[in-house]
Structure 1
Amino acid sequence: MAADDDTTPTDPASVIDAVAAGAARPEGEDEHDGVPGGADDEVAAWRDKLATAAISPRAKEALTESREHLDAAWHSSDAGTEAAPAGKLRHAHRAALVGMRHVTSHQVPFNRELVVAVDRLTRVVEELATRLELVDTLEERYGGILRRAQAGVATAGVQIDDLAGELAEVVAGLEDVTARLADVEADVAGQRQVLGATRAREDVVLRTLTGAAGTGTGTDTATLAAEVDRADAALLRRLAAAGRPRPETVLAWARQLEPAVAAAAAGAPVLDLDPDRGEWLDVWAGLEGPASGVESDPAAAAVLRERGHDVSDGEPVAHLAELPAGSLGAVTAVALADVRPLGELVAVVDAAVTALRPGGALVLVVADPAGAATGDVLWADPRRRPVHPDALVLLALDRGFAEAEVVGLEDGPPSLALVARTAGGAPPPA
């Protein structure tokens, strides 16, 4: 079969000629030479990208080899599809191509798709290599800082634990100091009381001596001592006011004890010793018989008289001892039994058992000794001392009362009341 240069050879002779012509083609000559674009330009672009990639030399070398393999694969991807140059084998070559077209027609796209796919994978690997290089750089640059920071955090944790322990010791020390300071303040308060009493004595002495020097007259020791005692008594009353129960509490105690006092008095006079603000006199004034009081504080006595009560100035114990025998129906005192010395308490019991009529009653209030440990307000009075209720009962019976009992008062700070009765008279209320 005859054919020109543009005709693909199909007969055996022409195929052989085409093969021979291809073999005789000069090395390096390509059918696509001089055509813009193509495989050479794409390979060059790959090489440029590889050269500018920020990766390590070892990774760059591996990627360069990969690009060279891709370049070779690209140039050989269409092998077997090109016609041989003019020559004795040109027709044979063309004939062979025609005979193998059903095989090579699909191989070229496959080869090129494969090359492109490998190229894409190479790009991904290149990007991963770049990122890994960046990670290595960051690790090299900041890894030491991070490790030092972690070590610093661990050290700080230990130091915080140490500081917490030291802070706990400081807190414990402060608590100890606070407790000691409270003790010191209590001591200072006691010293202030003593100092106040001493200062009052000094003031009296100075005033007395100054007056004596100005008038040229002497002052006997008894007069000076009496004035000093009055100054001390005034100071003591001011201190005792801190342990005074509230008026409504004292009034509630009077209401609770009123049936026993009314039954014992039965119309006879009732005497209240040191009535102070007069709450009990307010209640006793409503009884059948007269109610009166004797107050050791002249100022308090004057106030009670202005309110209409029969109150005289004087010392309660001495006043009670001077009353005629059997002249009273009841003797009461809300603040006397545990703020006076024991000798005065015995004197009050002795004078009362004489001054009371048959069936009369002595009513004395004392603070519950158990309240001293809990800091009840009654124990703020510096004169107060604990008096056991059994001791009160035994004292009353020993000094001549026919019967005696101690009852608990229902209102206010824990307190007790001795109710002692003389022989005779009507039976006590149930």
Structure 2
Amino acid sequence: MKAPRSITRIQEIRDAIRVEQARARRTGSPASSWFTSSAGRSSLPRRIMSAVRSLPFLGRAARWAYGLYRAPGRIRDLLTLIRLGDDEAKRARAEREELGASLNRDLDSRHRLLQDEIQRLRGTSTEVAEGLAGLRRSLEDHGAGVGELGDRLLAVTDRAADLGRSLGALQVEVAGMRQPLATVQAEQNEERRREKVVAAVYPRLESHFRGPRALVRERQSIYLPYVREAVPTKNGLPVLDLGCGRGEWLELLVENGFAARGLEQNQEFVRECRGRGLRVEEGEAGLLLADLQAGSVGAVTAFHLLEHLPFAAWLGLLQETVRVLAPGGVAIFETPNPANILVSSGDFFLDPTHHRPIPSLLLCYVAKSVGLARCRVLELHPRREDPQAAAGSKESLLERHLLGPQDYAVVAWKD
């Protein structure tokens, strides 16, 4: 560190005093004034003194006398020099004390910063120690997990080996089933081909045995009051006809102001209905019903459809009917009457796609079991319509089973 200027000045003064004292001892005269300027002195006394000093004996005495003459001034100069030295020393001490205080303050500040940094490092070291401890525990857990995973991997490997053996056995079994599967696929293809043939023939067959459109419209008009009675149809919900065929019933509904939709599987019937401007969707009735929202239909009708289906299929159809019907809606199902012997033993089989006849008691029971209420059976289309033949006496049981209703309908409601 560089010394203050005052200290340097004091040192200079002290050096000057020592030089002056050494000179005085060598010459045997008092020390000369260091501060006195030669500019103010007269040049004549200086010449006189120079001449006197040149004399052998008198010159030394003169020099000594002149030194005594000059001593008071030089003493004053030395006292002034000492006083200035003391002042410089005081200033140097003050500067040194101020510098020391400044250094102390700086040291205190640096000490506090160092203590804070040490404290922070201690906290950091604690966190690091805790992190290392957690990492050590994680590694220990991971080691245990790796061991468990190794055990599971061995188990999976064993399981994969077992599955490989099972797969080999299945491949052998599948190889043995390929021939039967090919046979089944061929049978299915043949079945689809036969269905297409039947679908092409069926519209003409139904038109021949079912009768003209005018007769069918006349017979189905008796259901219009039941549709009008249904509250949801009054509120604009549609009537859904399953297996709508040639569309006679849809035409009656539209002509009487009802919103009507039909579901039909036969493509030729679908084209005929659409050609008449009727709203018909192509597909199986059960599948199309399943896509409808619950409570979205005011009435569901099916004329001569259920007898084409096995029991499980038409049971599911009735269940879906209850689901899609809105409260207060009506369901109407018309089918051949097996109580008529001529129907059940002959006429029923005029349609080769019929599955089996459905007794009215069975249909009413199933309708009630799936949630329909107020089931009513309508006996329809008797074989003998001559009123005079039955006027003479009570109709016999045999005549009823031979000449009675050829069809019946179940009308039921969703409460």
In which range does the TM-score fall when normalised by the shorter chain?
0.3 to 0.5
Rg bigger for which structure? 2
Say which structure, 1 or 2, has more relative contact order (CA 8 Å, 6+ apart). 1
Q: TM-score, normalised by structure 1?
A: 0.44
Between structures 1 and 2, the one with greater helix share: 2
